[in-house]
């Protein structure tokens, strides 16, 4: 995830420290649409607008920090995935990236399905009216209660993650007089080129059943024998924030290999394969993500080719993008509280949120960009570190980025590409209140997840 060290030059501080940053952009006021949502721009006064709404108005009306989500961009990205894969495949949005009832309705309207991985996500999906048969239920340790609720609701598939779960789901379905559609999640032994914590297809981790040593084949054998299950396919998710398609190629090759073995052993052609999510997005201008149509073409070609070689009917493909749909659609809007230049090092810019609204920098060493959005500036670039208000020094939102040297308390700055895994992983650390999610579209802004209040905190604290 690292970028080249910046060649030191006399910018604000005489000598710049080593760090993971590129040279400052020629113009700090320019907004690169690789990282900013599609409707983001600057108005005639230089103030950033999104969906036709001025960020100063958003800050005034909804407070800061706030996640600001571009609804038109979300819908466009969802539609692009749907269109790219066409009617013979399914796109399941991965709700873990960010889920709310409004999002569920948008997905439903745009023709996407939904992947959930907990009772809470399932409840959100059902309460917003997502048809149960378009929901896939994931997780490596679903509780008996969660499984029962999913089966009762009639979810379209449960993705089985262990030998115990195969039996557990079959048993629960049978006790409810049902036959549950299911896929088996396997680990194909691919080393995805991403952060260790978000790579999931190598064997030494908690997800799935290893293909190696015949374990996945044994799982299929058992599942096919159980009356409570209708085994519809094989699932593989190799990890997240991946740019290189070769991992998916190897995964598809190995999944099809298993389908072939299943056909040879049982005379059954499983009708579906799911290749998971994990497609990377641009967090900084240095990242170059693939477009959905390229991904769809590449995955469909690999599967078709492999199936032809194995003389199998091509199964229905599904994918589960989360980050690639919601990630680029939102930015976090902060107000600058203090600006602290440390000579020869960098300037610490403290904002009114931090690791409670974006844990990704601390957890994965993630890189973000940042811009001054309440005005433009012609001041020199200064090397800045955007930090939060929490009581620990690892509370960093943007490690190294350039901001104008005249940045001052009261300015609004925004961190783009925070739509995925920021609100969904937000915490109450230090009893800081989780920010709202505000959706903007066609000049209108509305809260889709409200800001947490001190009453919310105290309600849980029963004394
Ligand atoms: N399908 C399955 C089975 C998954 O486990 C995941 C993500 C996805 C799909 C969606 O992956 P995406 O397209 O969003 O990369 N908290 C981490 C990411 C963890 C992802 C967990 N599973 C982060 O902030 O980067």
The pLDDT tens digits for 305-338 are: 999 999 999 999 999 999 999 999 999 999 999 9
Give CA–CA dist 455/433, Å, rounded: 10
Do 434 and 354 have their domain in common?
yes
Give the pLDDT confidence of 371-395 residue by residue, as tens digits.
999 999 999 999 999 999 999 999 9
320 C-beta closer than 6 A to ligand 1: yes
Domain assignment of residue 78, yes or no: no
CA angle 311, 313, 315 (to 5 degrees): 130
Q: Which residues span the domain enclosing 448? A: 13-70+328-460
Q: Which of 321, 338, 361 is the last residue of a domain?
A: 321
> 97 Cβ partners below 8 Å, 6+ apart?
322, 323, 325, 326, 327, 419, 420, 421, 424
Q: Are 172 and 228 in contact (CB under 8 A)?
A: yes
Which pLDDT value is given to residue 203? 74
List the residue whose alpha carbon is closest to atom 24 of ligand 1: 421
- Most distant pair of Cα atoms in the chain: their distance: 74
Which atom, in ligand 1's list, is nearest to the CA of 242? 15
Distance from the alpha carbon of residue 29 to the mean position of ligand 1, in angstroms: 32
Q: Is residue 107 part of a domain?
A: no
391 counts as catalytic:
yes
Q: Is 310 in contact with 257 (CB distance < 8 Å)?
A: yes
Question: Ligand 1 within 6 A of 95 CB?
Answer: no
CATH number, position 269:
3.20.20.10
Binding site membership of 280 for ligand 1 (Cβ less than 6 Å) = no
Examine residue 255 and state whether it is found in any structural domain, yes or no: yes
Quick check: CB of 198 below 6 Å from ligand 1?
A: yes
The answer to whether residues 113 and 93 touch, using CB atoms and an 8 Å cutoff, is: yes
Q: Which numbered atom of ligand 1 lies nearest the CA of 424?
A: 16
User: 445 lies in a domain?
Assistant: yes
Taking the C-alpha atoms of residue 397 and residue 188, their distance in angstroms, rounded to an integer, is 34
Is 91 near ligand 1, meaning CB less than 6 Å away? Answer: no
Instruction: Indicate whether residue 324 lines ligand 1 (CB < 6 A).
Output: yes
309 plus 386 within the same structural domain: no
Contacts of 237 (CB under 8 A, 6+ apart): 185, 200, 201, 207, 208, 274, 275, 276, 277, 278, 320
Give the nearest ligand 1 atom to 322 CA.
14
Do both 49 and 193 map to the same domain?
no
Q: Is the peptide bond before 194 cis (omega within 30 degrees of 0)?
A: no
Cα-Cα-Cα-Cα dihedral sign, residues 412, 415, 418, 424: negative
Query: Cα separation of 313 and 454, whole Å?
Result: 57
Distance 241 CA to ligand 1 centre (A): 8
The pLDDT value given to residue 196:
63
Spell out, as residue ranges, where the chain has pLDDT lower than 50. Answer: 1-14
Tell me the CATH number at 403: 2.40.37.10
Ligand 1 pocket member 115 (CB < 6 A): yes
Give 177's contacts (C-beta < 8 A, 6+ positions apart): none
Q: Are 278 and 216 members of one domain? A: yes
Q: What is the pLDDT of residue 232?
A: 98
Q: Judge if 309 and 405 occupy the same domain.
A: no
Query: Are the C-beta atoms of 296 and 89 separated by less than 8 Å?
Result: yes
Whether ligand 1 lies within 6 angstroms of the CB of 276 is answered as yes
Domain assignment present for 80: no
| Boundary residue ending a domain (279, 296, 321) | 321
Is residue 198 in some structural domain? yes
CA–centroid distance, 191 to ligand 1, in Å, is 16
Query: What pLDDT score was predicted for residue 149?
Result: 98
| pLDDT score at 2 | 39
111 backbone φψ class: left, alpha, beta (φ>0; ψ -120 to 50): left
Question: Could you tell me if 287 and 364 lie in one domain?
Answer: no
**Do residues 453 and 398 both lie within one domain?**
yes
Does the Cβ of 399 fall within 6 Å of ligand 1?
no
Residues 362 and 231 in one domain: no
Ligand 1 atom, smallest distance to 276 CA: 1
Whether residues 179 and 145 share a domain: the answer is: yes
Handedness of CA 97, 98, 101, 102 (dihedral sign): negative
Q: For residue 79, which phi and psi values (nearest 5 degrees)?
A: -65, -40
Cβ of 190: how many Cβ atoms within 10 Å?
Answer: 23
Which candidate in 117, 307, 391, 422 is catalytic? 391
Instruction: For residue 105, tell me if it sits in a domain.
Output: no
Give 217 Cα–ligand 1 centroid separation in angstroms: 25
Residue 252 within a domain: yes
Domain-ending residue, one of 321, 336, 354: 321
313 shares a domain with 335: no
Reduced 3-state DSSP string for the chain: CCCCCCCCCCECECCCCCCCCCCCCCCCCCCCCCCCCCCCEECCCCCEEECCEEHHHHHHHHCCCEEEEEHHHHHHHHHHHHHHHCCCEEEEEECCCCCCHHHHHHHHHHCCEEEECCHHHHHHHHHCCCCHHHEEECCCCCCHHHHHHHHHHCCCEEEECCHHHHHHHHHHHHHCCCCEEEEEEEECCCCCCCCHHHECCCCCCCCCEECHHHHHHHHHHHHHHCCCEEEEEEECCCECCECCCHHHHHHHHHHHHHHHHHHHHHCCCCCEEECCCCECCCCCCCCCCCCHHHHHHHHHHHHHHHHHHHCCCCCEEEECCCHHHHHHHEEEEEEEEEEEECCCCCEEEEECCCCCCCCHHHHHCCCCCCEECCCCCCCCEEEEEEECCCCCCCCEEEEEEEEECCCCCCCEEEEECCCCCCCCCCCCHHHCCCCCEEEEECCEEEEEECCCCHHHHHHHCCC
Question: Closest residue (by CA) to atom 9 of ligand 1?
Answer: 277
Q: What are phi and psi of 147, to 5 degrees?
A: -65, -45
For ligand 1, atom 5: residue with the closest CA? 237
276 and 371 fall within a common domain: no
Report how far residue 194's alpha carbon sits from residue 450's, in angstroms, rounded to the nearest whole number: 33
Q: Residue 97 C-alpha to ligand 1 middle, in angstroms?
A: 7
Contact (Cβ atoms closer than 8 angstroms) between residue 222 and residue 163: yes
Q: Are residues 337 and 366 in the same domain?
A: yes
End-to-end Cα distance, the chain: 45
Number of domains in the chain: 2
């Amino acid at each position: 995830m690292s970028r080249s060290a910046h060649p030191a030059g006399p910018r604000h501080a005489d000598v710049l420290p080593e760090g993971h940053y590129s040279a400052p952009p020629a113009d700090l006021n320019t907004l690169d649409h690789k990282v900013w949502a599609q409707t983001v721009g600057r108005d005639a006064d230089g103030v950033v607008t999104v969906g036709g709404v001025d960020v100063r108005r958003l800050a005034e009306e909804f407070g800061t920090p706030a996640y600001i989500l571009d609804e038109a961009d979300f819908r466009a990205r969802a539609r692009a995935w749907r269109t790219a894969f066409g009617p013979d495949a399914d796109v399941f949005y991965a709700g873990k990236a960010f889920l709310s009832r409004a999002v569920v309705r948008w997905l439903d309207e745009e023709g996407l399905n939904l992947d959930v991985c907990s009772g809470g996500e399932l409840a959100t999906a059902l309460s917003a009216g997502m048809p149960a048969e378009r929901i896939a239920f994931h997780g490596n340790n679903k509780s008996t209660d969660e499984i029962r609720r999913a089966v009762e609701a009639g979810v379209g598939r449960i993705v089985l993650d262990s030998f115990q779960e195969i039996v557990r789901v079959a048993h629960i379905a049978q006790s409810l007089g049902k036959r549950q559609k299911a896929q088996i999640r396997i680990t194909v032994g691919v080393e995805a080129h991403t952060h260790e914590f978000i790579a999931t297809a190598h064997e030494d981790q908690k997800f799935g059943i290893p293909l190696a040593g015949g374990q996945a084949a044994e799982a299929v054998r058992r599942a096919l024998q159980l009356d409570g299950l209708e085994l519809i396919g094989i699932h593989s998710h190799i990890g997240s924030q991946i740019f290189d398609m070769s991992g998916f190629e190897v995964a598809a090759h190995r999944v099809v290999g298993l389908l072939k073995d299943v056909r040879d052993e049982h005379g059954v052609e499983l009708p579906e394969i799911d290749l998971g999510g994990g497609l990377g997005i641009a967090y900084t201008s240095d990242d170059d993500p693939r477009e959905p149509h390229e991904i769809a073409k590449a995955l469909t070609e690999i599967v078709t080719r492999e199936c032809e070689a194995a003389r199998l009917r091509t199964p229905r493909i599904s994918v589960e993008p989360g980050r690639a749909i919601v990630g680029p659609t939102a930015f976090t809007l902060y107000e600058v509280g203090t600006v602290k230049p440390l000579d020869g090092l960098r300037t610490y810019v403290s904002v009114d949120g931090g690791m409670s609204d974006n844990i990704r920098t601390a957890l994965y060493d993630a890189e973000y960009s940042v811009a001054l959005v309440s005005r433009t500036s012609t001041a020199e670039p200064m090397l800045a570190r955007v930090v939060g208000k929490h009581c620990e020094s690892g509370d960093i939102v943007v490690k190294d980025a350039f901001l104008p040297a005249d940045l001052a308390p009261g300015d609004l700055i925004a961190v783009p590409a925070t739509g995925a895994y920021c609100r969904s992983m937000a915490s109450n650390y230090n009893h800081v209140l989780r920010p709202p999610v505000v959706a903007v579209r066609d000049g209108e802004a509305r809260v889709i997840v409200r800001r947490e209040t001190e009453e919310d905190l105290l309600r849980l604290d029963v004394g």
